[in-house]
Amino acid sequence: MTRTFVKTLLAAGLFAAVASPAGAEPSKPECLAGAKPGGGFDLTCRLAANALLEAKIIGKPMAVTYMEGGVGAVAYNHVIGKRGSDGNLITAASSGSALLIAQGKFGQYDETAVRWLGALGADYGVLVVAADSPYKSLSELIAAYKASPTDFSVAGGGAVGSQDWMKGSLLAKAAGQEPKEMRYVALEGGGAVLTALEGGHVKVGAGDAAEMSKHHAAGKVRVLAVMAPERLPGELAEVPTAKEQGVDIEWPVWRGYYVGKDVSDADYKWWADAFTKLVATPEFVKEREARGLYEYTQVGDAFDQQVKADVARFKIIAKEAGM
Amino acid sequence: MNLDYLWNGFTVALTMQNLLIGLAGCFIGTLVGALPAIGPINGIALLIPIAYTMGLPAESTMILLAAVYCGAEYGGRISSILLNVPGDAGAVMTALDGNPMARQGRAGEALMLSGLSSFVGGVFGAVGLALFAPLLAGLAIGFGPAEYFVLMVFAFATLGSMVGSQPVKTLIGCTLGLMLATVGLDATSGAYRFTFNEPELGDGIEFVVLVIGLFSVSEALLILEHQASGVTVIRELGRMTARLDDIRKSIGATLRGSVIGFIVGVLPGTGASVSSAVSYTTEKRISDTEGTFGKGDVRGLTAPEAANNATACGAFVPMLTLGVPGSGTTAVMLGALMLYNIQPGPMLITERPEVVGGLVASLFIGNVLLLLLNLPLVNIFARVLTVPNWLLVPGILVLSVVGVYSTHASVFSILLMLGIGIIGWLLRKAGFDMAPIILGFVLGHVMEVNLRNALAISGGDISILFQSKISIILWILAGAMAVMPLIAGWRKAKRMKTATS
Amino acid sequence: MSDTTFSSSRIGRIGGLLMLALAIAYGIGGSQIDYAFASDPLGPRVVPVLLAIILAVLCLFYLKNPGTAEAFPTGQLLVKIVAVPLLLLASALLLEPAGFAASIFLLTFGVGWIFGAPLRLALIGGVGQAALWWFVFSYLLDVYLPVGQLFG
C-alpha cells in the first residue's frame, strides 16, 4: 500500500518535472547543430539564437550545442531516440537534410519522424565558370556542353547525390545528357571548387550564391545563373536567373529547424509563433543578412508540408538521375 | 625573398593569448618530455581535443602543439641525464655522455650545457624553417588533383627512409592506416563504406579517437608491462652553471649537431631519434681523439641535444610547405589541422598564412621561453621524475577519455578508442611502429580523392597523372626516394662482403 | 626489453593470420559496397579492394618472417593488462548514467591500484584526481561533462 503510494508520488513528481507549463517560454532554450562549430548548421543555430535574443523574444540566451556526424544524421537520430519530447530543443536542418532523408541516408527514420518547425532564410544554387572562361551566359554553356559532353567536367562541393551534384545534374539534363554520364568532380566545399576553376582543372562549378557572390564581385569567377525564382538582391543583382535564360531550374537551400515528434502542441505553437514574430523585426533582418542568407520564411504546418513535398520531389529527381 | 608571412606571424604569435598559450605549451612540453613514460606524440594527442573543444582558433592550436613538440625535445634531456632513461626517443643519445657527467657530480652543469645547446639547435632550426618555407611554397600554384595525387605518392615513397629494420611492418602499418581512412562516407560517390549502419561512423573514424587510442591507451598498457624497477634519480645536481671552458669546447659540436638535425628533420619520414644518432656518431668520429666520449664528454652531450631540437623545427618544413609530414609528430599535427577543415597541401601557406606564419614565429618565441623555463626551473622538472606511475597513468587515461568524449559527446567514440588502443598495443608488442598508421590515415583520404578526381576529369585516361611538369618532377623524386634505401642497403651488404673476404 | 623468444614469434604468426583474415574480410566487404553509380571511373570499391590485396600480400611476407617481437605477458601481469581496458570500458559505460566524477573515480582508483599503489593511496589518488579533473575541465576549460542522472 505504502509502496504504491510512494511510486505514484514519484511518478507524479517525475511527470511534473518533465512537462513544462503549456505554451510558456522554454526554460532552457537550446539549438542543436549536427556538425562542428563553424559549419552551416552552426550558422543556422546562431541565426535563431542571436536574433531571438536581440529581438527580446526569449529572455535567456539560447545555448548552441554540437553533435557532429553523418551531415546531421547523428543529431537526427539523437533527437528522435532521446529527446523526442523535449520542448526546449530545436535542431538545425537544411534542404540538404531533406535530400539525405530522401536518399535514405538518415538511417531508419524518414521525414515524418520529427516535427518540422520553420525555415528562417535561404541560399540559392548558382552555376559558376572561371573569370577567363569563354562562356558568358547559361545558353552558351549549355550549347558547349551539348557539343562535347564527354569533355565537360563539372565540379561541386559534395559527393554524388549531394546538393551540388544535383545542381550539376539539372544542368546536364538541360543539355540533354544523362546525369549518370556527367563528368562530375567531387571536391571539399566551395573553396576547392573555386581553386579548381581558377586552375583551369574543371569547366564549370556548382555552388551557393552567398559564397560565390563574394568571388564574383572580386572578379575571380563569373556566376552565369542563379537558381532562384527571382533575381537576388546585392552583388548578384546583375546575374539573370536560370528561368530568365529559358532553363527551368530552381534550387533553394533553405535553412530551418525541427523539433522532436512528441513535443507538445503548445510548445510547438510557442516556437512557431516566436518565429512568426521574429521575422518581422529589424533585428532579425540584420542577423539574417549578416549570414549571407536571403529572405525565405515558412513556419509551422506550412513548413512541415513543404519539407514533405521537398522529400517527395528529391526522391523523383534522384530516381530520374539514376540513383 | 618575401618574408612578410613571418612578420605577420609575429603579430599573431605575440598577442597576449597566444603568448600565454605558447608558455603553457612550453611548460607542458618540457614535462611531457621529462617523463620517460610519454613523449611529444602522446602529449600532443592528448592536447588536440582539449584545444579544439576550448574553441581555440587553428593558429593558436598550432602554436600550442608546436610549443609542446619543441618543449618535449628540451625536456627529454632531463631524465636522460638524471635517470639514464631517455625521456623520449630523441634523447637516447643524450644519456650516453649526460648521465656519466651526472654521476661525476656534474648534473647541474650537464643540464645547463644541454639546455644551451638545445636553444642553439632550436633557433637554428627555426631560422632554417623561416627561410625555407616560402621557397618551397612557390610550387603550390598549379596543383590540381593529378599533382596532389603524385605528391601523396611521393610522401609514401619517403617512407622508404622510415622503414628501418623491419620494412614489411612499416608497409603493413601504412596499409592499415589507408584502410582506416576508407571508413565513412565516400567523398566522391556518396556511398557509405564500412560503417556497419552505425551513424557515428558516417563521417569516418575521428582522428582524435585514432590517435589517442594508438598513443595513449596502448601506451598505458606498455607502461604497466615495463614498470621501471630500480632506477635511481640523481638528486645531487652540483653547480648549476656551465663552465665557460666547456661552452667554448662544445660550440663546434653544437653547430654541427644543429645543421645535421635540421637536414634530417626536413627529410620526410625521419625524426629526432635518427638525427641525434647521426650527429652523435658524426661528432664522435670528428672529435673523439682521446676516447672520452661515453665518459661524460660535453661534446657528446651537446651535439645530439642541438640536433634533436633542430630536427623538431626542420620537420615543419615539409608539413607546412607541402602538407607532407616530416615525422610522426608532425603527422599528428597535420591531422589536427584537418579538424579545422584545413586540408594539408601546398596551398596552406597562401590560404592560411596566419597559421603558418604564427607557427614559425612562435618557434622563435618558444625557444626563448624554453631557455628561460629550462635553466632556472630545471629543479622543478627534475622533481616531476619522481611522480609515481600510479598517479601518472590514471591521469593519462582521464585525459584520453575526456578528450575523446568532449569532441563528440558520445560514449561510442570512447569504446572505439578503447578498441583501437588494444589493437595498437598488440601491434606494438609485435614490433609495429604507430607512425606509419597515422601517416597512412592522414594522407590516405587526400590520395584516394585526388586520384579519383583526376581520373574523373580525364575520363579515365591515366596519362593525366604524367602531364604536368610538377607531376613528372614529383614522380622522379618519389622514385629516387623509394630506391635510395635499397641502394644504400645493397652497398652496405657489398661492403660487408668485401670486409669479410 | 625486446626479449625475443620463440613463442613470441609464434604469436607474431597468429597475428599475421588474423591480419590476413582482416584483409580478406575487408576485401570482400569492399567489393560489396552499395552505391548507385559513381561519377569517376574507379568508384568507391576499387581502392578498398586494392588495399585488401596489398595487405594480403604483405601479410604473406610477414608470416614468412615475423621479425622481432616482445614476449607476451603471462600470469599476474596478464590479469593486470586485461583489467585496465575492462576498467576503461566500465567507466565509459558509467560515464553518462553515473556522471563524470563517479566514473573517473572508478578509473583513477582502479588503475592506480593496478599500478601498484597501496589501497589507501589509490583511494586518495582516485578521489583527488576525480576532483582535480572535474575542476580543471568544468571550471577552468569549460568543457561539457555529464553530471550523471544520479546527481543531476
pLDDT at C6: 44
A135 and A201, same domain (yes or no): yes
Distance CA B216, CA A322 (A): 46
pLDDT at B213: 93
The total of structural domains in chain B comes to 1
Instruction: Show the CA angle centred on residue C65, arms to residues C60 and C71, nearest 5°.
Output: 120
Query: With bands split at pLDDT 50, 70 and 90, how would you rate the model's confidence at B175?
Result: very high
Structural domain of B226: 4-500
Q: What is the mean pLDDT of residues B429-458?
A: 88
* pTM of this structure: 0.83
The total of structural domains in chain A comes to 2
CATH label of the domain that carries residue A97 = 3.40.190.150
Query: With bands split at pLDDT 50, 70 and 90, how would you rate the model's confidence at B167?
Result: confident
Task: Report helix angle B58-83 to B353-374, nearest 10.
Answer: 30
Q: What is the mean pLDDT of residues B195-222?
A: 88
For chain C, what is the radius of gyration of the CA atoms?
A: 23
Burial (CB < 10 A; 0-12, 13-18, 19+), residue A100, is buried
Comparing alpha-carbon positions, the chain C residue that sits nearest to A155 is C39
A49 and A135, same domain (yes or no): no
Q: What is the mean pLDDT of residues B246-263?
A: 92
Q: Which helix (H) or strand (E) holds A49?
A: helix A40-54
Q: Which helix (H) or strand (E) holds B498?
A: helix B469-500
* pLDDT one-digit tens code per residue, B13-34: 999 999 999 999 999 999 988 8
Distance CA C15, CA B442 (A): 25
Is the pLDDT at B136 greater than 50? The verdict is yes
pLDDT at C1: 39
Structural domain of A311: 29-123+252-321
Q: Do C39 and A322 touch (CB under 8 A)?
A: no
A118 and A128, same domain (yes or no): no
Output phi, psi for A254, to 5 deg. Answer: -75, 155
Last residue of a domain, one of A181, A209, A236: A236
pLDDT at B132: 83
Q: How many Cα atoms sit within 13 Å of C140 on the Cβ side?
A: 9
Strands A30-33 and A252-260: unpaired
Choice among A174-183, B118-127, B337-346, C106-115 with the minimum mean pLDDT? B337-346
Give the gap in angstroms from C-alpha B392 to the nearest C-alpha of chain C.
9
Burial (CB < 10 A; 0-12, 13-18, 19+), residue A21, is exposed
Distance CA B278, CA B275 (A): 5
Q: Between B133 and B169, where is the model more confident?
A: B169
pLDDT at B465: 94
Instruction: Show the CA angle centred on residue B374, arms to residues B370 and B378, nearest 5°.
Output: 155
Please give the share of chain B, as a percent, with pLDDT higher than 90: 35
Is the pLDDT at C2 greater than 70? The verdict is no
pLDDT at B138: 63
* pLDDT one-digit tens code per residue, B362-375: 999 999 999 998 88
Q: Which helix (H) or strand (E) holds A65?
A: strand A63-66
A263 and A227, same domain (yes or no): no
Whether chain C has a CB inside 8 Å of the CB on A322: the answer is: yes
Q: Do A159 and B55 touch (CB under 8 A)?
A: no
pLDDT at C9: 67
A98 and A142, same domain (yes or no): no
Write out chain B residues lying below 8 Å of C43, CB-based: 189
A53 and A148, same domain (yes or no): no
Give the gap in angstroms from C-alpha B339 to the nearest C-alpha of chain A.
9
* pLDDT one-digit tens code per residue, B372-427: 988 888 888 887 777 888 888 999 999 899 888 877 778 899 999 999 999 999 99
- Which of B77-81, B142-146, C44-48, C74-78 ranks highest by mean pLDDT? C44-48
The full DSSP string for A179-223 is GGG-EEEE-SHHHHHHHHHHTTS-SEEEEEHHHHHHHHHTTSEEE
Q: What is the mean pLDDT of residues B211-239?
A: 79
Distance CA A259, CA A75 (A): 11
A80 and A132, same domain (yes or no): no
* pLDDT one-digit tens code per residue, B445-460: 889 999 999 999 888 8
pLDDT at B354: 87
Give the number of other CB atoms < 10 A from CB of residue A82.
9
Write out chain B residues lying below 8 Å of A73, CB-based: 199, 202
Subunit partners of chain A (3 or more CB pairs within 8 A): B, C
Global ipTM:
0.92
Whether A228 maps to a domain, the answer reads yes
A60 and A137, same domain (yes or no): no
3-state helix, strand, coil in chain C (%, to 5): 70, 0, 30
Q: Between B183 and B233, where is the model more confident?
A: B183
Write out chain B residues lying below 8 Å of C142, CB-based: 54
Distance CA B97, CA B182 (A): 47
pLDDT at A282: 93
Subunit partners of chain C (3 or more CB pairs within 8 A): A, B
Q: Between B93 and B159, where is the model more confident?
A: B93
CATH label of the domain that carries residue A133 = 3.40.190.10
A136 and A274, same domain (yes or no): no
Q: Are A249 and A88 in contact (CB under 8 A)?
A: no
Whether A41 maps to a domain, the answer reads yes
Per-10-residue mean pLDDT for chain A, 323 residues long? 42 42 74 82 92 90 83 88 90 93 86 94 94 93 90 89 90 90 86 85 91 88 94 91 91 94 93 94 92 92 94 88 74
pLDDT at A275: 95
A129 and A159, same domain (yes or no): yes
Residues of C numbered 17-56 whose beta carbons fall under 8 angstroms of chain B's beta carbons: which are they? Answer: 19, 26, 29-30, 33-44, 47-48, 51-52, 54-55
pLDDT at A22: 45
Last residue of a domain, one of A236, A261, A296: A236
Q: Are C16 and C62 in contact (CB under 8 A)?
A: yes
Whether A245 maps to a domain, the answer reads no
Choice among A99-103, A295-299, B38-42, B299-303 with the minimum mean pLDDT? B38-42
pLDDT at A79: 92
Q: Between A241 and B38, where is the model more confident?
A: A241
Task: Report helix angle B389-408 to C75-98, nearest 10.
Answer: 40
Indicate the average pLDDT of chain C: 87
A74 and A168, same domain (yes or no): no
Whether A215 maps to a domain, the answer reads yes
Query: With bands split at pLDDT 50, 70 and 90, how would you rate the model's confidence at B254?
Result: very high
